[in-house]
Structure 1
Amino acid sequence: METRDEVRILLIKPPIRSCMVEIGRHMPIGLAYLAAQLGEAGMEVDIFDSLAYAEDNHVVPPEEYTDADRAKLAAHPRWGHLVHWGATWERITEKLRSTHYDLVGVSCMFTPYYEPAYQIARLVKEISPDTKIILGGQHPTVAHHHAITETAFDALVLGEAESNVVDIVRALVAGEPLTGMPGVAYRCGTGLCDCAEPGPRVHLQPRATFLEDLDGLPMPAVHLLDMASYDSTATLITSRGCPFSCSFCTVHATVGKKFRTRAPENVIQEIEHYVNEHGIRRFFIEDDNFTFDIPRVHELCQAVQRRGLDIELHLPNGMTVVKLNDELVRDMAGAGFRSLFLGLETTDVARLRKIRKGFTSLEKVHNGANLFTDQGIDVGASLIVGLLGQSCAELARDSINLMLVGVRFWTNPFYPIPGSPDFQQCLGSGLITHDTELALYDQFNFAIGSDQLGPEELYWAWVCTQAMAQWPRYVLEGTEHRRELAELPLDQALDRLLAHSTDLFGPDGGLEVPAVPVAVDGNRITVHPEGCFDAMQHLADKPQPEGLCTFTGDVLAAAASLYTGVPHRAQQLPGKDSAGRCRFTLVTDQVAPVFTDIHKVFLAELRDAVAEARDEQPEPLTAD
């Protein structure tokens, strides 16, 4: 048998199974950082990013459902399918069989997606029983009590792993104990502890401190990745930690509250490496609070300009409006920033204080958005629909307020994220229990609802805000027209919807919205082949169950309902037309009673808000 000295490691990002997956093609930067450290220690490392294989996406067949899958589908108020995003199990198995690995590190950043991570661990043990397996990421950090029950994992790595990942891996591969090592959890009696009397308990050794010297980290090992899989876009992390304490967030568990930074020159060197060695000029900055240190941002942006780097920068994690001013925005524009969003979550001042975001406001976001727009930067605001204590009328008014001031926005449904203060509040109120299936804490499962809205109410409220975010001027136009007519005809509404949909295409012609009508005929709507749910999920050319694009139809029906003042429902027609496009009909019979009730609330808030705005602003509120 061949002998070898080097240790072989596989770091793997699992696929995802969910009712809807909303991810960009972001490179697994965390695994690349760990791979770099392990490589510097003389280990041979591979990275397998399941999510990069979007061509393998498919609808999960019922015969493959797990108990958690069935729980998700039973709880969802509308959708009857699950999407598998990423590499098939056949592809993953082939990778695992291709090389004997001494250790496999599995990443799980989101608790509701734990099942594929656990399945990979069991698959590794089946193929190579002597291979050691560790689980890292947000999930084992905040839910180690659950993750440790999966016996395929030899140990869990908690929080930031760079400070001692090499020591952990060496100990596991050598069969040495992990006793005293920070940032790990493992079962007693498995040979990893030195207990005189091993027993059925867990050794939990939290990480006491976070990494201070970010500049001392080796450059991420992106040579192990196929960067073409990420649209030739690299991920940058220029700082870690966030001093803020938003109630819905879990960032403190993995990277802490203390704001730690890399020196601008260190970041510039990494950017130049990507430009010179990989030909990459597009970057996503994934910091949790990029602009917390304003002088540092100025310095970084000015350094980019001094070096003459022709790059494109984006902030998919967004930024705050704290200390935002015209000088900062000009520097960001000059450095190449092209898109970002401003975290708002709600326009209600009292509720902002309750979720610990009193540092922002509708006025500040409006003013900040104008600054970025003036510099040609694509900017929007984010809202959370169904915050704890928030009524349906309140959440409707949030979207309306942004529509009226002309700030583009998008909305996310509330869900309790394990490890967040909101999660603890939901536990305390009885909305959830310690026995609630973790897979149900999925943003798009709507299994929990909120303390004010049931799951179906939250779903339909979110769908209405989706329609308002996608067609704000259209919804306002319908509200104005109904001043004279209480109800408007559907054919007029659909013609106007088509006219308001020409600006849904991005500057590069791409689509990232769930419902893009391109033709109407009576009560029938045909949508763009790339502007439908199946295209968003990379399923357009795959076998599809009946009603797969229910979400697209619901958003179209909500838009038409808000325009006409009459509740409608959508029916997806079987198959597609000759151009590969989905089609829907809108009807007024058998409309879900919950949607009818939500619709009434939204109409009342629209009527009142527009009337109030008209008293203050004589100019028309809508465009032709």
Structure 2
Amino acid sequence: METLLPNTWDGNPNTRRLRLGVSKEQQSEDNEDEGTLEAMRVLLIQPPYDLFDDDPRQAMPPLGLAYIAAVLERSGHEVKIIDCVAEDFDRLTPMPDGRRRHGLDGADLIRAVAAFDPRVVGVSCLFSAQAPAAHQVCAQLKQLDTQIITIMGGAHPSAAPESVLADPFVDYVVLGEGEQTMLELVQALDAGCPLPNDPAGLAWRQDGVVTVRSRGVYWPELDTLPLPARHLLPMARYFEYRAPHGGRVKRHPCTNMITSRGCPARCSFCSIHTVWGRRYRAHSAARVIEEIEHLMTRYDVREIQFEDDNLTLHKTRFVEICQTLIERRIDLTWTTPNGVAMWALDEQMLELMRRAGCHHIALAVESGVPRVLGQIIKKPLDLARVPSLIKACRRLGMGVSVFFVVGFPGETKDEIRQTIDYAINLEADQVNFFTATPYPGTELYRQCVDERLIAMPIDYTTLRVGRPVISTPDWTSDELAELVRAAQARFYRRVLTRRPLHFVSLALNHFVREPVATMRKLRNTFLPRLIEAAPGPEY
């Protein structure tokens, strides 16, 4: 089937667009016969990641793409997924700014694309810092064939569609969760129409003008989604690399799952609502168990990382999942690297989780100062409950990591230090200090732009939780970086003196996986004055 011309559409969603080498009369005849449409060949790409010198490499299945692929396959389309990191995990290409591009890139990626010969290519862009790599992939696709239709999706394009569509190599942006919107767009393109009858959930550019149509309704019943199309992913490679999110793995093979979407909380720094929305939706307990058993049977999986933002929010559902794992004696261990909803946790729930196979949880506390937590971050959390939850985890033999975010506008240096003291005194197995990062689509981003607290135009490559970009009248970004570095070093020194075996275990776990990045991280944390003088590693 011929490829649609990009600039012959009049802007009406009900108007069909000319195809290369086809007369208007012939196209009219073709459009009348909807029964002869061919299956679209759709390629979905997870671009390479750009890493700083002390960033560890990670490789886990891109479940967002796998869900989209499953929905497209179910509708009869031919789909392929290229995860650039998994395809060439050992490739680290030096970049002019000192970072390294991790994964398949350039001519090798384009050869893989050409071999599949897609009509439509969807490019994922989960994080703003990944935007340059995603845009470069789109440029390479258009260099290969200008008639390839390029679509970008993920948290960053969902929050900044106008910015993304300023790139002439990007034809469409899918806003929010992608299954329904991508399917409707592909079906429309296959029928010779540039847009679905209802283009909700899409942004597009016509004659230099960008139109954004947000989707108000999300996929209501998650159980009606097919299982993610993991058969299109190189699962054996993920198991071989052993480089999952968070790194807290007890057994292999290990993989990831998402059992729910949406977060009703309104934390000022979080952009996940731009993808999943704010209404909580979840797979049923029966469907979760079905997917677990599928992973264990087909891929011999023995550990799962639940990537949900709110795994425990629906308490009845979560209890049913745990009880089923226990009653069926399912031989599985699992973790929650993204954190859990602490307002749904108590000692009884933690004990149930432990019996069901959980060996490590992450708690996203964010701040140790009630004023910052309630008035600035706007997170509904009672700090008084946190120490008892951590003690319960330790008593049950569960590891626990705690996340803190500092450096918000309106937060003072003294409050940052209070959070650091609170965090270190919790006696958690791991404490991670991050800096508030103004991702597009967040309240924090709007505040920083309005109050001119970040340099503009914004450099998306700098939007990383460990790289401060905000300066306020109370502190500069450099001062904040030093506060966080010193806090992380203080935590590790405390662990070394109080729990030396645990410190050695932590260090070895990271060093075995990423020796060069681990040494750089240790040096950057404990010996900051040597950073600029020391030579970089050779790759």
What amino acid is the match of 1:128? D
Structure 1 distance, partners of 2:376, 2:338, is 18
Deviations for 1:350-409, whole angstroms, at most 9, x for unmatched residues? 111123445324431111111122221111211113222223333233222232342341
Deviations for 1:161-201, whole angstroms, at most 9, x for unmatched residues? 21242221122244313153211111124xxxxxxxxxx32
Question: 1:98 is matched with which residue: 106, 115, 118?
Answer: 115
- Check the 8 A contact 2:152/2:173 in 1, yes or no: yes
Structure 2 distance, partners of 1:52, 1:350, is 43
Q: Which residue of 2 aligns with 1:252?
A: 273
2:360 match: secondary structure: strand
Q: Which residue of 2 aligns with 1:185?
A: 203
Q: Which residue of 2 aligns with 1:239?
A: 260
- Check the 8 A contact 2:267/2:379 in 1, yes or no: no
- Check the 8 A contact 1:250/1:417 in 2, yes or no: yes
- Asked whether 1:292 is paired with 2:325, we answer no
Q: Which residue of 2 aligns with 1:32?
A: 66
Q: Which runs of 5 or more structure 2 residues have no equivalent in the other structure?
A: 3-36, 240-252
Structure 2 distance, partners of 1:169, 1:143, is 22
Question: 2:524 is matched with which residue: 554, 557, 560?
Answer: 554
2:187 match: secondary structure: helix
Deviation at 1:466, TM superposition (A): 1.6
What amino acid is the match of 1:159? G
- Check the 8 A contact 1:382/1:411 in 2, yes or no: yes
Structure 1 distance, partners of 2:85, 2:280, is 30
Deviations for 1:50-78, whole angstroms, at most 9, x for unmatched residues? 1224634425243xxxxxxxxxx5xxxxx
Larger Rg: 1
% identity of equivalent residues: 28
Structure 2 distance, partners of 1:304, 1:551, is 38
**Superposition map of 1:148-547 within 5 A:** 148-178=165-195, 180-189=198-207, 200-231=208-239, 232-357=253-378, 359-408=380-429, 409-432=431-454, 435-450=457-472, 452-473=474-495, 502-506=501-505, 510-512=508-510, 534-536=516-518
1:504 match: secondary structure: helix
Structure 2 distance, partners of 1:529, 1:213, is 42
Q: Which runs of 5 or more structure 1 residues have no equivalent in the other structure?
A: 63-72, 74-80, 190-199, 478-499, 513-527, 537-548, 559-567, 581-624
Structure 1 distance, partners of 2:72, 2:504, is 43
Structure 2 distance, partners of 1:575, 1:38, is 45
Shift of the 23–314 alpha-carbon distance from structure 1 to 2, 3 Å rule, reads farther
Structure 1 distance, partners of 2:344, 2:62, is 31
2:502 match: secondary structure: coil
- Check the 8 A contact 1:158/1:254 in 2, yes or no: yes
What amino acid is the match of 1:102? R
Question: 1:15 is matched with which residue: 44, 48, 58?
Answer: 48
TM-score under structure 2 length normalisation: 0.84
Deviation at 1:116, TM superposition (A): 1.0
- Asked whether 1:109 is paired with 2:126, we answer yes
Structure 2 distance, partners of 1:278, 1:146, is 40
Deviations for 1:65-114, whole angstroms, at most 9, x for unmatched residues? xxxxxxxx5xxxxxxx2121222323312211222111111010112221
Structure 2 distance, partners of 1:33, 1:451, is 45
Question: 1:52 is matched with which residue: 64, 80, 86?
Answer: 86
- How many residues align? The count is 489
Shift of the 216–471 alpha-carbon distance from structure 1 to 2, 3 Å rule, reads same
Deviation at 1:158, TM superposition (A): 0.7
Over aligned residues, Cα RMSD in angstroms?
2.8
Structure 1 distance, partners of 2:368, 2:467, is 25
Deviations for 1:327-364, whole angstroms, at most 9, x for unmatched residues? 21111111111211111111111111123445324431
Structure 1 distance, partners of 2:324, 2:158, is 36
Structure 1 distance, partners of 2:536, 2:99, is 19
